[in-house]
């Protein structure tokens, strides 16, 4: 055991430093996300979800850093990763919209153009039901919108970034709930 420690002192120290940095950065980022969530009055579930995504990214970074620190042969590792990623890539091609919706959900979390409880209008000519919607919940993949007649619509997060969305204040609504133009 002493020989192993003596022979791999640099790798062990590099591993410890990497893990400590990841833990510290993860803690700081977690606190920052929580602060953004509380300042913006965002849903607690949304804040936890974004924290999980960021934590996962830090751990992926840690694994890659540890692989580089321990000097794993990049050519052999590259062959393994390329084979695995080829299979995963084919599987994820069908799931690409899910990844774009998750990414859009994270962007919406940090840009917070609207929040739960806001009344919005989506400028989408392909949307069959026009009018105003009440944002009931913002999930990782989609947003729950409630129409004035009580109908619940799920709308993908990536379309919320692609389409024009107007946040409607209470002064913009008539007494019957329709748009005042």
Tens-place pLDDT, residues 112-147: 788 888 899 988 887 777 788 999 988 888 899 999
Is there a single domain that holds both residue 89 and residue 150? no
Query: Where a domain ends, among 94, 128, 144?
Result: 94
Q: Say if residue 27's pLDDT is above 90.
A: yes
- Nearest residue to 15 (alpha-carbon basis) of 64, 69, 72: 69
Is 51 a domain residue? yes
**Domain assignment of residue 130, yes or no:** yes
Q: Which domain, by its residues, includes 70?
A: 2-94
Alpha carbon 28 to its chain centroid, in Å, reads 17
Residue 104 placed within a domain: no
At 71-100, the pLDDT tens digits run 777 677 677 777 777 777 666 665 677 778
Residue 52 lies in a domain: yes
Q: Are residues 11 and 41 in the same domain?
A: yes
- Kindly state whether residue 181 falls inside one of the protein's structural domains: no
Q: Report the predicted TM-score, pTM, of the whole model to 2 decimal places.
A: 0.54
The pLDDT score that the predictor gives to residue 180 is: 44
Number of domain units in the chain: 2
39: in domain:
yes
| pLDDT tens column, 155-173 | 888 888 888 888 887 665 5
Q: For the residues 17-42, what does the mean pLDDT come to?
A: 90
Query: Does residue 43 form part of some domain?
Result: yes
* Beta carbons of 170 and 149 less than 8 angstroms apart: no
d(CA 14, CA 69): 7
Q: Are residues 66 and 35 in the same domain?
A: yes
- Whether residue 19 is found in the same domain as residue 85: yes
């Amino acid at each position: 055991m002493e020989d192993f420690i003596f022979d791999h002192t640099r790798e062990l120290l590099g591993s410890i430093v990497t893990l400590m940095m990841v833990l510290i950065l993860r803690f700081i980022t977690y606190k920052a996300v929580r602060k953004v969530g509380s300042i913006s009055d965002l849903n607690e579930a949304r804040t936890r979800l974004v924290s999980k995504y960021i934590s996962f990214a830090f751990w992926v970074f840690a694994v890659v850093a540890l692989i580089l620190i321990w000097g794993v042969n990049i050519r052999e590792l590259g062959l393994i990763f390329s084979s695995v990623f080829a299979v995963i890539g084919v599987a994820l091609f069908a799931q690409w919209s899910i990844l774009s919706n998750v990414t859009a959900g994270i962007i919406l979390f940090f840009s917070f153009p609207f929040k739960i409880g806001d009344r919005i209008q989506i400028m989408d000519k392909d949307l069959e039901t026009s009018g105003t919607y009440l944002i009931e919940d913002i999930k990782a993949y989609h947003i729950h919108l409630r129409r004035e007649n009580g109908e619940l619509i799920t709308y993908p997060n990536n379309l919320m970034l692609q389409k024009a969305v107007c946040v409607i204040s209470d002064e913009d609504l008539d007494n019957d709930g329709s748009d005042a133009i």
